[in-house]
Structure 1
Amino acid sequence: MQTDETWTTTNVSAVEENSSLNSEQYRKKMQRRQEVQEMRIKNASNEKGLIVVHTGNGKGKTTAALGMVLRALGHGYKVAIIQFIKGAWEPAEKRVFSIWQDDLLEFHAMGEGFTWDTQDRDRDIEKAIAAWQKALGYIRNPQFKLVLLDEINIALKLGYLQVDEVLAGLAQKPVNNHVILTGRGAPAALISRADLVTEMTLVKHPFRDQGIKAQPGIEY
């Protein structure tokens, strides 16, 4: 697996190599790269619904998923969002997405907040199971092109839901529909099953490093 250090070294070398080329050499190199990319695109003729996982300790997992939701809505696709943990908040995203509700978007905030706030494991499990049952209805429904299961990975990590049960549910989705699962600590079995996995790496965080509180427009 490529580490951050390897990635940085590789890209620095590429920058140095490109900067040493004259205009004609650079043009020929980019032309070859264009040909390779066009061939890859031509050969990538398969189409299928994806299982997408956003995990890792860094910020941006839900934000990236919501960007994909916007794309789907922009294409006129029906979308469902089920929030497993953050239900105690009324996020700004929910207000923005409300313009699509009752038409293309179903939004269900079914958690009651972070686990350190609820402090009731049995109730957290009950809520997670209810959210999963709600999600299953959308996953199985061919009309919903995209289903976002926000923070479900945390529910899996904490044992509120069973990985095998979730994998069995994902197997029931229509072949061309997509499901996104977000949250840190995604289990290995889910990562193995997914088609696209992105890990957000924490480098710096204003709350941890500077004591800066959550701010509107950034965290919510």
Structure 2
Amino acid sequence: MTEDTTETIVHDDARHAEKMAKKKAARDKIMATKIGEKGLVIIHTGKGKGKSTAGFGMIFRHIAHGMPCAVVQFIKGAMETGERELIDRHFSDLCEFHTMGEGFTWETQDRARDVASAQAAWSKAKELIASGEKSMVLLDEINIALRYDYIDVAEVIAFLQTEKPPMCHVVMTGRNAKDELIEIADLVTEMELIKHPFRSGIKGQKGVEY
């Protein structure tokens, strides 16, 4: 390595350190203003994979911190999932798990039954949230139930705005989240689909999809 090369590297390192120092100072200034806490309404939606996975990631984070939480599944139910098996087997003292759905609507082919299942899931969700005993409640695939009007979105919004305890986080997953729900949410993430193995003839696999 030549002397000129060494000097260039030292100069670049110094410039980088100076740049990062300024960035840290700016970041610290911003973070100093972020002192509030509240129970968030969180939505994971979009056509891409990972909506429920993201929701369960938050649930497992709660479990890791010893914080009480709950899961209500609005659609899934016909098949076993890794998340449910793990929680029921090892963490049922911290996380209640309620599988209320019977599968997707094209599987049951009975709208009245689907509506009844969704309404029962919503009743259980309201009970868990309003109790004030849970720090987080995951409403898995509720957006699908709302999309098909199995549940009244206005009722859901009114409940979240007036009856949700101040420090309870509510996570809602599923495609096609209603615009009205997105409007009142604190955190919304849309999963964008770029590629999916299903389109190449690959079925859902254990440990990836469930």
Q: TM-score range by the shorter chain?
A: over 0.9
User: Are the aligned partners of 1:139 and 1:170 in contact in 2 as well (CA < 8 Å)?
Assistant: no
Instruction: Describe how 1:69-218 pairs up with structure 2 within 5 A.
Output: 69-98=59-88, 99-101=90-92, 103-171=93-161, 172-208=163-199, 210-218=200-208
Q: Structure 2 residue aligned with 1:48, among 35, 38, 41?
A: 38
What SS is found at the alignment partner of 2:96?
strand
Q: Distance in 2 between matches of 1:162 and 1:45?
A: 35
User: SS of the residue aligned with 1:106?
Assistant: strand
* TM-score, length-scaled by structure 1: 0.88
Distance 1:36 1:129 in 2: 48
Percent identical = 51
Output the CA distance in 1 between the equivalents of 2:159 and 2:172: 13
* SS of corresponding position for 1:179: strand
Q: Report the secondary structure of 2:32's partner residue.
A: helix
Unaligned ranges ≥5, structure 1: 1-20
Q: Determine which structure has more spread, i.e. the larger CA radius of gyration.
A: 2
Please identify runs of 4+ aligned residues in structure 1 that moved more than 3 A: none
> Structure 1 residue 85: deviation in Å?
0.3
Q: What amino acid maps onto 2:141 in structure 1?
A: E
Post-superposition offset of 1:122? 1.0
Q: Secondary structure at the match of 2:44?
A: strand
Structure 2 counterpart SS, 1:45: coil
Query: Per-residue CA shift, 1:103-160, capped at 9, x if unaligned?
Result: 1110001000011111111110110001000100011011100000000000001111
More divergent stretch after superposition (29-38 vs 178-187): 29-38
Secondary structure (helix, strand or coil) at the match of 2:30 reads helix
1:66 to 56, 62, 69: 56
Within 2, Cα distance between the matches of 1:30 and 1:135? 45
In the TM superposition, residue 29 of structure 1 has moved relative to its aligned partner by 1.1
| RMSD over aligned Cα atoms | 1.0
Q: Following TM superposition, by how much is the alpha carbon of 1:68 offset from its aligned partner in structure 2, in angstroms? A: 0.4
Aligned residue pairs total 198
